[in-house]
Structure formats: structure tokens, C-alpha cells
Amino acid sequence: MERKNQQYNGLKEECGVFGIYDINGHDTARITYYALHALQHRGQESAGIAISNGKIIDYHKGNGLVTEVFNDKNISELRGRVAIGHVRYSTTGLNQIYNAQPIVVRYRNGYLALAHNGNLVNADELRKELEESGSIFQTSTDTEIIVHLIARYITKGMVEAVKMAMQKIKGAYSLVIMTEKALYAVKDPNGLRPLCIGLLDDSYCFASESCAFDVIGARLIREVSPGEIVEVSEDGIKSYALEGQKKEAFCIFEYIYFSRPDSVIRGISVYAVRREMGRRLAMEYPVDADLIVPVPDSGIPAASGYSEVSGIPYGEGLVKNKYVGRTFIQPDQAHREIAVRLKLNVLAESIRGKRIVLVDDSIVRGTTSKRLVSMLRSAGAKEVHLRISAPPVKFPCYFGIDTPSRKELIGSKASVEDIRKMIGADSLGYLSIDGLLSCFDHVGFCTGCFDGNYPIKVPEEGSKFKFEAGVCYG
């Protein structure tokens, strides 16, 4: 997670991590490259791989997509058995190469490389403390704070050093860490962000999402537990638990929007749960209509669930430009609207003269929905009913999902009826928080973006937390 202008400035990063300890003679760098490809949706700004040949840790990282950072030559030069990789998302202006991960350092006992998904909430005070006691920082990320803390305690052994660092840091962190000879996966005591364990032949690997295992042919074993440290070395795999309170508060937005639908997280299929959200939405907000149209790709599973319950046919009414990806857009409103048009166009043939139910997973600022409703109307839709498979996003995320400050969240400023008017829909229905939670057999979620109940005390919103940069559209 990144700091801006020496001022802690949260809410900017979503990342993907991967790690492998190979004992089967795989081309470890290339496996990591493929896995990062599968995790590309979690971050498009920089990518990197660190690899150990048993003696030193080498690395390559750079700004851009995985395919832009790596080529056959630089991948072939990365040789070794233990590797970690990272894809990073941050908003505009902060894509300095020195902030790309993994962070690789050489300290008195050897090498250490670390890749982080999440966001610390006490980074400012920790950085100050470390700087006052002589630490010199090379990046503006809070990830480097974790590296410094581990290096500081390393004489106690790696696992103990990680535990001691965990006792100091607060916030969301799913980490993969490597030394020359071992690989570690670590999750914060609330288990806010995903991180799972897989097996590729007999080699253990870790990934933010199981879709990375599918690509490389690995088998999903289980999710890393909240507060767990998993170590893989020549002695095999070992698990350690951080002492003290652990209260799972997994980010529910991972299921709603952020993770890939083909991932399985904590034993739950993301696709199946999104479909269930659509089913519940149809029960909570039925409407008489002719066609259910998803906002591709984010609204597809929920739209199909809505269609199943309502009996209204599901059909394509919007076409997505495949080559836009998660476009990085300038932060002003005019550019955001262009972004919507760049990405989605109306299939006039299928919607003309029809009463449409438009289904999406979330409304953040309202730009996408407003634009789409007006595009559908211009193309001849008779009515447009908007259905959202999540509750209104009312509060910012402090734990690694990029959401703007409260004043920019339409759900925090306006009532549902006012939002409907602003967006121009004939009706608007959001899934309730209870309806959302009833889609799961599990408990233990962070629903802070909907109800302001965060699992950890968060900094007060104000001068330190302002949304200054761009937004990416899913």
C-alpha cells in the first residue's frame, strides 16, 4: 500500500500475490508468471517476480501489465526453486517503479522478499517510529514497514520475527514472504483479504485466489486462516498461529465485485454466491419486465440468478469492449463518463421497446449506472429498472479496496429514491445487508463499506483520507 506526499493516504490499492516452493523441477518463474496473469484483475499497475536459487534472491519488476513487464528473455533469466510474485493496483501518479513489489532487501543475515495485499491502518505511526530509530525507507509503501520490522527481529528466527511484526502492524495483510531457502504465507488476525494454499504436483504454492491454481494446474487445498503463518521449507509445510484474539472479518466485497467469479474462497464459489445474490435480489425487489440485462462482466452472475427467480428472460443488451480491460481513467467526471462509453455499448436490437431490468453488482459514484440507463433509453428501452446485488456503498474501505471518500459515495449522500432520480431509472432496488449475508452459510465478514462497522479502529476520515486520484472500472 502506498503513501502519497509523505502523508498516509489510504484506499488506493488492491493487489494479487503468489508464491511457490518447487520440489518437482518446474520452471518456477514461468509458473509464477502464469499465476500472475490469472490474478491480473487484482492489479494492473505493476508486476514483479522474486526468485531464489538457494543462495541469492534475484528479481524483475516494472510498471504495467504482466505481459508488459515480462518477456521470454527476462523470464528465462529468473532461475530458482522458490519464487513469489505480485500484481499491484494503485491510482494515478504513484506508479513509481520503486514502489513495485515484491520488495527485495539484503540484510545482515541474507535476503528477504515480500509481497503484500491489503492496507495497514497504523502505517504512519510505525514509519515515524522506525525512522526515528534510524530506518531508511526506499519506497513510499507501507509494505516496506513490514519488511523493516521483520528484519529488525530476525535474530529470533523467521517465524518469531513475523509474529513480532504482526503484533505491531494493524490492518489488512495477506503476505507471501521468502528467504533464500523458505517460503511463508501470512494472514492478518481478521483474515480480511484472501490467500489460499495449493499443491502443484508435490510443490506447495500460495495465491490470492484459486483461479491462479486452475491456470497452473495446481489443486486448491485450503484458505490460510486468520492470524496463521504457513512455512514451506526443505522440512515440508508447517503452520503457526499468532497468539491472541483472532476474529475473522473477511471482506465481503471480494465476493461481490473484486474476486474472479471462477475463484473459490473459504470453500465458497464466488460465481455461485453472486448468482445467489441475484436470486435474493429478485425476491426482495421483483418487477414486471421483459428482459434482464446484466452489466458485463460484473453483473452477469446476479442477473442470471434474478432471471431464474423472476422467470423473466435473461439477454444481452450491452456489449463490452474486450480490449479496454480495467481502464485507468483520469479522476474527473467527464473522463469517467467517456470510460463507461469506451467500455460498454448498447445492443439496440435486443432492448428496443422493452421493459429492461438492468443488473449490476454495485454503485460507487453512480457514474456507470447513470450513463447506462440513459444509453438504454436512447436506444429505445421502454422502461429501465435498476437492480443492484449489494447494499448501498456508504463508507470508505480502509483495508485495501479502492473506494472514494464518503462525500463521493452516492450511497452515503443520498436516499435510494434520490439516487434513483439522479440515475434516471424507473425503479431502483439494492439487496439488503441481511439479504446479502443470507447468501452465505458462513459468518465472519467485514461489511464496513455498507454499515461502517469495521473490524479494527480506522483513522478518522478527513484531511488524511481523501480520494485524489483516478478510478478503474470493472
Q: Compute the distance between CA of residue 391 and CA of residue 262 in angstroms, rounded to an integer.
A: 23
Q: Which of 32, 52, 203, 368 binds ligand AMP (CB under 6 A)?
A: 368
Query: Residue 277: helix, strand or coil by DSSP?
Result: helix
Scanning 226-234, 274-282, 363-371, 456-464 for contacts with ligand AMP by CB under 6 A, the matching segment is: 363-371
Residue type, 34: Y
On whether the CB atoms of residues 250 and 191 are closer than 8 A, the answer is: yes
Rule CB under 6 A: say whether 295 interacts with ligand AMP: yes
The reply on whether position 474 binds ligand AMP by CB under 6 A is yes
Q: Which of 15, 196, 251, 397 is catalytic?
A: 15
From residue 376, give the alpha-carbon distance in Å to each of 346, 364, 367, 379, 387: 6, 20, 14, 5, 15
List, as own/partner pairs, every contact residues 156-160 make where C-beta atoms lie below 8 angstroms and the sequence separation is at least 24, other chains included: 158/182, 158/184, 158/231, 159/184, 159/229, 159/231, 159/240
Residue 39 forms beta bridges with which residues?
none
Given 161, 361, 377, 469, the residue binding ligand AMP (CB under 6 A): 361
Q: Which of 298, 304, 310, 389 is in the footprint of ligand AMP by CB under 6 A? A: 298
Q: Which is nearer to ligand AMP, 213 or 450 (CB)?
A: 450
Among 64, 261, 366, 459, binds ligand AMP (CB under 6 A): 366
371 touches 412 (CB < 8 A):
no
State phi, psi for 40 to the nearest 5 degrees. -55, -35
Of the candidates 157, 16, 7, which has an alpha carbon nearest to the alpha carbon of residue 84? 16
Based on the shown chain and the rule CB under 6 A, indicate whether residue 257 belongs to the binding site for ligand AMP. yes
Decide: is 401 part of the binding site for ligand AMP (CB under 6 A).
yes
Burial of 252 (0-12, 13-18, 19+ CB in 10 A): buried
The smaller minimum CB distance to ligand AMP, of residues 130 and 293, is found at: 293
Q: Is there a catalytic annotation at residue 15?
A: yes
Whether residue 84 contacts residue 158, with contact meaning beta carbons closer than 8 Å, is answered with no
Using DSSP, state whether 51 is helix, strand or coil.
strand
Give the binding range for ligand AMP (CB under 6 A) out of 185-193, 197-205, 207-215, 357-365: 357-365
Query: Does residue 473 belong to the site contacting ligand AMP (CB under 6 A)?
Result: yes
Residue 196 identity: C
Q: Which is nearer to ligand AMP, 84 or 458 (CB)?
A: 458
As given in the structure block, the three cell numbers for residue 331 are: 479522476
Q: Does 367 bind ligand AMP (CB under 6 A)?
A: yes
Other C-beta atoms closer than 10 Å to the C-beta of 157 total 10
Contact 445, 249 (CB under 8 A): yes
Residue 450 touching ligand AMP (CB under 6 A): no
Question: How far apart, in whole angstroms, are the C-alpha atoms of residue 226 and residue 124?
Answer: 24
Choose one: 150-158, 177-185, 401-409, 423-431; the region binding ligand AMP (CB under 6 A): 401-409
Stretch that binds ligand AMP, among 190-198, 199-207, 354-362, 451-459 (CB under 6 A): 354-362
Sequence-ordered strand ranges (E) for 406-460? 427-430, 445-446
Please, what is the minimum distance in Å from the beta carbon of residue 63 to ligand AMP?
Answer: 19
Minimum distance, C-beta of residue 54 to ligand AMP, in the bound complex (Å): 40
Q: Between 228 and 360, whose beta carbon lies closer to ligand AMP? A: 360
| Site for ligand AMP contains 360 (CB under 6 A) | yes
| Shortest distance, position 460 Cβ to ligand AMP, whole Å | 22
Q: How many residues bind ligand AMP (CB under 6 A)?
A: 19
- Which residues are the active-site residues? 15
Contacting residues toward ligand AMP, per CB under 6 A:
257, 295, 298, 360-369, 401-403, 472-474
